Each structure stands twice: as C-alpha cells, then as structure tokens.
Structure 1
Amino acid sequence: MTTELDRTLRQILADVLGLAPERVATFAGDTGLFGHLPELDSMSVAGLLTEMEDRLGFIIEDDEVDGELLETYGALLAFAAAKQVQG
C-alpha cells in the first residue's frame, strides 16, 4: 500500500538525486541507497535531508543521522514515518 508519505519521499529522492520517477517507483523496502546509488553520495545527503525537512515538516537532528538511516529505502521511510509521529 502506497501512502502519501511514501509518494512524497519517492518524489524527494527523484528531485534531489535527479533519478527518473519510474526508477524510484521500483524501490522496495530493501533497496539499497547510500553506497548503492551512485547519485546518493556524501555531497547529496545534506540536500536530501534538508528537502525531507522542508517537504515533510520535521527537523532532523545531527545525532539522528547515521549509516543505518540511509542504508535502505525502507529504513529511510521508517525514519520519516517516526519523525512525523513525533512532530
């Protein structure tokens, strides 16, 4: 089931990383992100997190950012869902 959060997060990834929406639409929970997508490098991480904050309406603290956050699409989606609940 696709949620509004899922659609928005996919759009953010497409916009920030310059990925085709068709490619992002194929991402599953276990799709690797950082280290798997050449477009998601250390330079683009800050842009991705900032765009998530802007579009999803929450603040990401520095201590919340670790390797696991960007390991898979599912991890990133779960993080965003938890942040919205905290919001």
Structure 2
Amino acid sequence: MSTDALHHVLRILDDVLSLGGRAQSFTRETPLVGALPEMDSMAVVSIMTAMEEQLGISIHDDEIDGDVFATVGSLADFLSAKLG
C-alpha cells in the first residue's frame, strides 16, 4: 500500500467528517464504521464521492462492503488498488 493512499484517506476523512485535524492521529489500525460516531452511511457515501472527485477514480457499488470501511488501513488499501 502506498503512503500516498494513506495520506489521501486521512485528508478525506478529516475533511468529510469535519474532524478538525483528528484524522492525522489515526493509524492503519484505527477502526472506522461502528467506532467513529461521525462515520454513518451518509459519511460512507460522501467519502466515496470525495475520493472519486478529488482523485479521478470510479467506484462501483459492488466494490464496497463493510470490510472496506472497517479500518483506516482497509480503506487505504482499497484506494491504493483503485489508484493502481
């Protein structure tokens, strides 16, 4: 996994969830869905939209499941694969 993908994920999480910089202290192991109160179904959609718009990727609904949004690391791995 590239450090670029992790950087993008942390920036997008901070922006979309309005965390005020808190995401910068997250590690790959930081849990997301079910652990962050800000991380609801609307936040998942907003994060996917932000990744598509800011990084020029296309995410299809069938690519997303709970495992992708389980941790910062799983989301970064997904993004890294999308960025190729």
TM-score, normalised by the number of residues in structure 1 = 0.88
SS at match of 1:68: coil
| Coordinate RMSD, CA, aligned | 1.3
How far did 1:4 drift? 3.0
Structure 1: 5+ residue runs without aligned partners? none
Q: Post-superposition shift, 1:56?
A: 1.5
SS, match of residue 11 in structure 2: helix
In the alignment of these two chains, the number of paired residues is: 83
Unaligned ranges ≥5, structure 2: none
Q: Which range moved further: 24-33 or 73-82?
A: 24-33
Deviation at 1:8, TM superposition (A): 2.1
**Dislocated runs of 4+, deviation >4 Å:** none
Residues 8-87 of structure 1: matches in 2 within 5 Å?
8-21=8-21, 23-85=22-84
Identify the structure with bigger relative contact order (alpha carbons < 8 Å, sequence gap 6+).
2
